Structure 1
Amino acid sequence: MRFWILLCLSALLTVPAVADIFSADDLAVARELREQALAGDGGYEIVADLTTRIGPRLAGSEADPRAVAWAERLLTEMGFDRVWLEPATFPTWHRNLERAQITEPVAFDMVTLALGFSPATPAGGLEGEVVMFDDLAALEAAEPAEVKGRIVFIRNRMRAARDGSGYGPAVQARSIGARVAASKGGLALMIRSIGTSSNRFAHTGTQRFDADTRALPAVAISNPDADRLERLIAMGEPVRAEIEVDAEFIEAYTSHNVIAEITGSKYPEQIVALGAHLDSWDVGTGALDDGAGIAIVTEAGRLILDLEQRPDRSIQIIYFAAEEIGLWGGRAWAEANADNFHNIQVGAESDFGAGPIYEIAARVSDQAWPVIKAIQAELAPLGIELGDRRASGGPDFIPAAPYGMAAIDLRQDGLHYFDYHHTENDTLDKINPEELAQNAAAYAVLAWLSAQSPIDFGSGETLLDEEAARAAE
């Protein structure tokens, strides 16, 4: 016991107290950044321009290269020290039309969107009896005879939550529902939209698929239409539907991550990476998902760029390509940095709309955790509390996790995010500039203090070793 007490005391002596981690000058700059950001609009004009000039920008569509050119020009004109493109190649998919209607025992049209990578139906559509399942697990447990030759309807409803925790359990129906239905001989898949709005909008999104699985036409229907379909099935009469999808797979396409850098004055090879994704779905204008994130991290970078001094470490602003259809830009970035993660101080992505940030969570080494506490102290005036030690950094940084990248999540209030997510209703009017400014302030403070930290956050082998040790305890 005495040994462990001495060991703990020794560790405490090697880690500076929270109040002593940053110099007075660095803290003064962080507070200046915070106040300047709050006085601005959080980059609202950036997302307004993106959604107006470019609009929806599905990866691999004709809008994709226009969005990349827009981004490269924006960051260059802002005066970043370096701006460059990083290639990312991925499969592409294009929708032409989709429709879904109930034909028996009554007839009505439903608001629908095809799910990403759905194959086309035969010309004119397909028609069949509808069989309903409560969720993906119920479909997985079903006998093939219940499914064969039928249109599968999964009715699970997403639960609204500030942290978006209802999304994961519900989205499995969209991700692999068609694959499971196909394995049991299903004719097509129809799901309740993975969204929380009671408005009559359908929510699209991508599916996971592989070359060895028969692909089924797959659509989402709006929540009100799903409610009506449920009531109709509950009446006990056979229900039949007709679905038509005209969509096509297109040959592989190469787009680009767009990266801008503020080069560090002391450790230019070490990087604080702020991310957002440039692509969107082909519905709405991608304002919340993820035009808001583009605005937030760009404004944070601009504020630091305008300082008289450069940060100690480099700060990179990364606009990721093809997030919506499979994190392809994130994969390309992780592969490009495979041998350099010891120099990635931290990654943090804004990809959850424009709601106010309420918490900071971090995946860093034990030695760096006091730094996170010190950063949170400077975020506290923004209403941001200290969270846990579980963080991914955001979707596009997930491919970097196997390399041991340190990650920070600035958790946003997403109670209403999934009202608009992946719908025609994801438009600029949903963004509040004051809340956007709070986000930009938080990312600016985070980036600056992460760049100035006297302690490395542990990316690479250090973090992997510590996590393995924790898992073994």
Structure 2
Amino acid sequence: MKKLSCFFVLVILLYGNASIAQKKDPVVDGIVKEATENSQLEKLAHELMDVIGPRLVGTPQMQQANDWAVAKYKSWDISAKNEKWGEWRGWERGASHIDMVSPRVKSLEGMQLAWSPGTGNKAVVAEVVIVPDLADSVAFQKWLPTAKGKFVMISMNQPTGRPDYNWQEFATKESFDKMKKDRDALTEAWTKRIAKTGLNGRTLPVALEKAGAAGIVMSYWSKGFGANKIFGANTKKIPTIDISLEDYGLLYRLAESGHTPKISVRADAKDMGVVPTFNTIAEIKGTERPEEYVILSAHFDSWDGGTGATDNGTGTIVMMEAMRILKKMYPNPKRTILVGHWGSEEQGLNGSRAFVEDHPEIVKNIQALFNQDNGTGRVVNMSGQGFLNAYDYLGRWLSKVPEPIRTPIETRFPGAPGGGGSDFASFVAAGAPAFSLSSLNWSYGTYTWHTNRDTYDKIVFDDVRNNAILAAILAYQASEDPVKTSRDKSVLPLNSKGEPGVWPEIRKATRKGGID
């Protein structure tokens, strides 16, 4: 009897193992194998970030990237096109050369802001002064004429160039606490100084420009070694430049101590007039339900302090790689798999909002949308975005993802609908089940998000490869699912005023940007 029992146990185990083997999905296995053994991520990243570079809306580089993506998809036998959604102020960055020429000579680390006017193919040499601390806006208006012909510093001088984590590691508690207290006091004093001009960060440069200043000098430190955030200029005729914390502090101290620093600035830039703006759209047509859509989503544009590597070059190449793999391993999906590379996300989700406006026939038939944006890290969070039954279908699809990729992902159901932040929110507002594949931090906010350090070398390709596998499997599962996803919305919690929560409203895209 013992031997007979052992025999039956063995048969059951063998049958069970055979059943497990039968349940293995050859498409999932193929996706993992292709992504692992034939990854194109490094090549795509090099071509996009190193060769083309940053992709500021309205620049030739953005248009070059759109055309590159279409050509790349077509080389994979995937239908692709650039779809115009609006117009923007055209601009092209040239070289920035910034040198201190008095009281000594030193090359400074800095660059002009996006859409900054150039210096007319010549260097401008002028004294550097600090925006003064005056009694009120009347006193400031009296001072303004003295800014004529000078570079005016409008940022606070940081008391330390060391990030807080560096202080925490090496400083005494008393020293760290004292630094933070002093910094808070300086920040409050600087805020009051600017407020007393009667202006703010946007209007102050304009007033200085009207007064005849030679240029605006600022430093937007990102609270990490060597990292500054680089956004757009508010001036139309004079250059606005951002200088590293270290060099800005040098100029500030020299000006404050009466040593009259002078700098030489040559900022080359081209005004390109009004240019068209595009989304790049590619698709693998569905065979059974072609009018239903699974969408892979990532914004294509970037700021141009670095090369837009982690915001959002990584999201872009994740979705391109996922589409390449799907075309090879799953060439005949049941539903149409569409990828959207959106323009002008950085100025307010404009490309994706325009797509929602222009394609209601697609939006109403979205099975699911997966968006990746926030950096190079592996995906560790997914929210149901307020869709009541998202736990059901997302849970089923995620169960097919290999355990090492699936296990670290925390899910929150039903979650709350995203009102902004990235392009999935454009679709959530329209009631479409759209989800953010949210990534591990990798010091994103400090070191790469909108900074001069957002470059190829910050990409963690092992994590990006995991994300490409995840996106491809989710798209495959969403396409295969025999059930159309539910769009039922959860009852939102009360807001801070005790009022019922409200679903985000659809917002219109800005179709003409940077144009007076």
Regarding TM over 0.5, the answer is yes
Equivalent residue of 2:367, what SS? Answer: strand
Specify the alignment match of 2:232 in structure 1: 206
Aligned to 2:410: 385
Question: Relative to structure 2, which stretch is displaced further, 299-308 or 149-158?
Answer: 149-158
Structure 2 gap ranges (5+) = 1-21, 166-186, 192-198, 502-516
Partners of 1:190 and 1:399 lie apart in 2 by 36
Considering only CA atoms, is the larger Rg found in Structure 1 or Structure 2?
A: 2
Question: How far apart are residue 298 of structure 1 and its match?
Answer: 1.3
Distance in 2 separating the partners of 1:142 and 1:34: 65
RMSD over equivalenced CA pairs, Å: 4.3
Instruction: Say whether the 8 Å CA contact 2:31–2:472 is kept in structure 1.
Output: yes
Report if aligned partners of 1:258, 1:319 keep a CA contact under 8 Å in 2: yes
- Judged with a 3 Å threshold, the aligned counterparts in structure 2 of structure 1 residues 146 and 374 are, in CA distance, closer, same or farther, namely farther
Match of residue 202, structure 2, among 172, 179, 190: 179
Aligned residue runs from structure 1 range 16-415, under 5 A: 29-30=27-28, 33-34=31-32, 36-41=34-39, 43-51=41-49, 53-80=51-78, 82-88=79-85, 89-100=87-98, 108-120=106-118, 124=124, 127-131=127-131, 143=137, 145=139, 148=144, 149=147, 150-154=152-156, 178-182=201-205, 189-199=216-226, 203-206=229-232, 217-228=239-250, 242=263, 244=265, 245-281=267-303, 284-308=306-330, 310-324=332-346, 327-338=349-360, 340-378=362-400, 381-382=404-405, 383-387=408-412, 388-391=415-418, 395-415=422-442
1:111, distance to aligned residue in structure 2 (A) = 1.3
Map 1:448-467; keep pairs closer than 5 Å.
Answer: 448-453=476-481, 454-458=483-487, 463=489
1:408-461 Cα offsets, whole Å, 9 max, x none, are 111222333453455665443333332221111121223223334435252xxx
Q: What CA distance in whole angstroms lies between the structure 2 residues aligned with 1:327 and 1:54?
A: 22
Decide whether the 8 Å contact of 1:272 with 1:316 is kept in 2: yes
Q: What is the distance in 1 between the residues matched to 2:106 and 2:76?
A: 52
Deviation digits for residues 101-129 of structure 1 (CA, Å, limit 9, x no counterpart): 66787775531122212334687266452
Matches of 1:194 and 1:336, distance apart in 2: 39
Aligned counterpart, 2:18: none
- 1:12 corresponds in structure 2 to none
Q: Which amino acid aligns with 2:430?
A: Y
- Judging changes above 3 Å, is the alpha-carbon distance between structure 1 residues 159 and 272 closer, same or farther for their aligned structure 2 residues? farther
Write the distance in 2 (CA, Å) between the matches of 1:160 and 1:369: 39
CA displacement at 1:72 relative to structure 2: 1.4
| Cα displacement string for residues 379-426 of structure 1 (whole angstroms, at most 9, x for unaligned residues) | 553122224545468634444454334321112223334534556654
Aligned to 1:442: 470
Percent sequence identity over matched residues? Answer: 24
Q: CA deviation at 1:278?
A: 3.6
Q: Distance in 1 between matches of 2:164 and 2:440?
A: 11
1:6 alignment counterpart: none
88-97 or 239-248, larger mean C-alpha shift: 239-248
Paired AA for residue 181 in structure 1: L
Q: Which amino acid aligns with 1:206?
A: G
If asked which structure has higher relative contact order (CA below 8 Å, sep 6+), I would say: 1
Which letter maps to 1:84? K
Report the CA distance between 1:269 and its aligned residue: 1.8
Q: Distance in 1 between matches of 2:132 and 2:301?
A: 34
Which sections of structure 1, spanning at least 5 residues, go unmatched?
Answer: 1-23, 134-138, 162-169
Tell me if the contact between 1:64 and 1:279 (Cα under 8 Å) persists in the aligned partners: yes
**What is the CA distance between 1:368 and its match in structure 2?**
2.1
Asked if the contact 1:111/1:202 (under 8 Å) is kept, the reply is no
Which residue identity does 2:41 align to in structure 1?
A: G
1:108 and 1:315, CA in 2 relative to 1: closer, same or farther beyond 3 A?
same
Q: Quick one: distance in 1 between partners of 2:207 and 2:43?
A: 50
Matches of 1:249 and 1:445, distance apart in 2 = 44
Report the TM-score, using the length of structure 2 for normalisation.
0.66
Higher mean alpha-carbon deviation, 296-305 vs 213-222, is at: 213-222
Whole-Å separation in 1 of the counterparts to 2:200 and 2:461? 38
Secondary structure of residue in 2 paired with 1:414: coil
**Once the 2 structures are TM-superposed, how far is the Cα of residue 272 of structure 1 from its aligned partner?**
2.1
8 Å CA contact 1:206, 1:325 repeated in 2:
no
